[in-house]
Amino acid sequence: MNANRREILKYTAAAAATAAALPASFAQNATGSIDARDRVFITNEDSNTLVVIDPRTNTVETTINLTSFDEDARPPFRYITAGIAPTHAAMIHKPLYHGCIDAHGAVPSPDGRLLATSGRGSSNIYLIDAVEKRVIGNTPNLAAGPTTNPERLSSGILLGREPHEPTFSRNGKELWVTLRGEDRIAILDVDRALKQLRGSDVSSVRQFLPTLNGPAQVWFNREGSLAFVASQKVAQVDVFQVNLGADGHSQPKRLTTLDISAQDKLGFTPFMKTTPDGQEVWFSHKLADALSCRSTREGFDLLDSVSLGAMGRPNHVEFVANAKGSVVYASLARVDDSGPGGVASSQIAIIDRSAKTGDRKMTGSFFSHGRESHGLWTNPENTLLYVAHEQDELPGTPNAGQTVCSAFDVSDPFKPNFIAQIALGNLALPSGGLRNKKSINLVYVRPGVKGQTA
C-alpha cells in the first residue's frame, strides 16, 4: 500500500468515526427534525437478529434476539461451548435449536407500532413490538440463571415454505405473507395473531390465497383496494381485488395477471413498492439489471423501463420527494472497487421521478459506503436515508469484518450527503458475542405515526 492510499484510508476512518459520533443536535440541524420515537430496524439473515439504530446518534441501541441460544446452560443449547463458536451457517444446525432461520423480510404496521419479520428457513413469522423493541409471545425461561437468557423465544406463527416478505394491509387488520416455495399467500388476522402469540388457542390464518409460482412480495395500492404480487420465478404480476368487508377483512379475487416478460425476461422480481402519491408501482428486476414502473389504475399500463447498467443487480427501491426534487432510489448489489477512499462499495441509483413519463432514466448514483446494498428506507420528512448491506467490510477498512448500515442526508435528493457508517456489532449472549451479519430488510419507523404502509 503506498503512502497516499494509507493517508486516504486514515482520513476515511477518522471521518467515519467523527460522523458516527455526531450529537443529535447536529443531525437535527443538518437534516431536519428527528423524533425521539424514531428507530431504524434491520433484519440480519445469517445471525437471525434485528438491530435497532437510534437515528439521533446513529448508534446501535439494542439487538433483538431471534435465536434460541443460551436458554439452557447445557452445551447443546449454547451458542459457544468450550470457547468454540460455530459459523453463522452451522449455528442453526446445533441440536435442539428452535430459533429463527434466515431472518429476512420486515415491514411496519400502518401505525408503526408493530413489525412483522419472516424466517425464511424456519417457515414462520414473528411480530415485534416496535415501541418496547421486543418479540411478542416470548415467555419466561423456566431454566433461567446467571448464565442463561431470561426469556424463551416464541415459535412465532408457522405458515409454510419460504415466507419471503410480509406486508400489512392498509387498514392494519391483515398481514399478507408471500410463501415463495408454495405459490400462495398466507393472509393473517392481526388481532388473532397477537392473541395466538400470547397463548390463546386461536388460529391467525384467515386463508391461503393461490397466486403465481414463486411469489416474492405483496404491496397494496394507496386505497387498499388492490394487491399487487410480484414473482421471482415467472415474468408475471398478479393483481387482486381486495374486496374489504364491513369488518375490514378481505375477500380477495384475482383481477388480472400482467405479462412483464418484456421488462423481466428472466422472471426474477424480488421487490416492489407503490409511490407515496399512490399513482405508480415500481418493480425491481434483479437479473435484468432494471426497474419498471406501471400505473396503479386499472389497465396497469407500463409507464417506464429503466436500465441500471451491467450487473447493477437492483434489490430495493425507495422514494424521496421534498422541496429540492423527487427521485426513485434503487440499491445495487454490485460492489465496485472505486468507492470512497479506495474502499469497495456498492452504489445507489438515482432516477429523476419528475421527468416526463416514458423518459425517466438513471441520472446518477452515489456510493452506499458498504458492500452489497439491500434494504433502504427514508424518514417521514424525506430528509434522511438509511441503507443496509449484505456483505461485511473488508480487511484494512475502518469497520473491517463488520456488517454496516449507512446514513445519508437527502435534503437534496440528487446530492445525498454521507453522514455515518454504523457498525452493527454483536448480540451479547451469555456464552459470548454473536455478530450481527448479512443485513437484508431495513425500515425507518416512527411508532404512533402513519407510515408508508398506511
CATH number of domain containing 305: 2.130.10.10
What is the average per-residue pLDDT within 111-115? Answer: 98
pLDDT (tens digit, 9 = 90+) per residue, 69-81? Answer: 999 999 999 999 9
Output 299 or 31, whichever has higher pLDDT.
299
- In whole angstroms, what is the distance from residue 11 CA to residue 290 CA? 35
Q: What confidence tier does 398 reach under pLDDT thresholds 50, 70, 90?
A: very high
Give the whole-angstrom CA distance, residue 437 versus residue 444: 19
167: in domain: yes
Please state the rounded mean pLDDT for residues 266-274.
Answer: 98
* DSSP code of residue 239: E
Residue 25 pLDDT more than 70? Answer: no
Give residue 21's pLDDT: 38
What average pLDDT does range 243-255 have in this prediction? 98
What share of the chain in percent tops pLDDT 90? 92
Quick one: average pLDDT of 378-385? 97
Q: Is residue 450 part of a domain?
A: no
pLDDT at position 33, please?
A: 78
Tell whether pTM > 0.85: yes
Calculate the average pLDDT of the chain. 93
Q: Which of 8-22, 28-42, 364-378 has the lowest mean pLDDT?
A: 8-22
Any idea which residue has 461485511 for its cell? 392
Give the residue, 97 or 3, on which the prediction is more confident.
Answer: 97
Is 453 a member of any domain?
no
Is 19's pLDDT higher than 80? no
**Host domain of residue 436:** 3-445
Structure-block grid coordinates of residue 153:
423465544
Residues 6+ apart with CB under 8 A from 397: 9, 12, 13, 343
Residue 452, in any domain of the structure: no
pLDDT of residue 14: 37
In a domain, 454, yes or no: no
Stretch 15-24: mean pLDDT: 39
Number of domains in the chain: 1
- Secondary structure letter of residue 81 according to DSSP: B
Q: Is residue 206 part of a domain?
A: yes
Res. 1: pLDDT tops 50? no
Task: Give CA torsion, residues 347, 353, 357, 359, to 10 deg.
Answer: -40
Residue range 201-235, pLDDT digits in tens = 999 999 999 999 999 999 999 999 999 999 999 99
- The whole-number pLDDT of residue 32 equals 57
> Domain for residue 371, yes or no?
yes
CB crowding 251-285: b at 16 or more within 10 Å, else e: ebeeeeebebeebbeebbbbbbbbbeeeebbbbbb
Note the Cα 184 to chain centre separation in Å: 21
Q: 330 lies in a domain? A: yes
| Structure confidence by residue, pLDDT tens digits, 119-155 | 999 999 999 999 999 999 999 999 899 999 999 999 9
Which of the pair, 8 or 47, is modelled with greater confidence? 47
27-67 pLDDT tens trace = 444 445 799 999 999 999 999 999 999 999 999 999 999 99
Which residue in 125, 146, 122 sits closest to 137, CA to CA?
Answer: 125
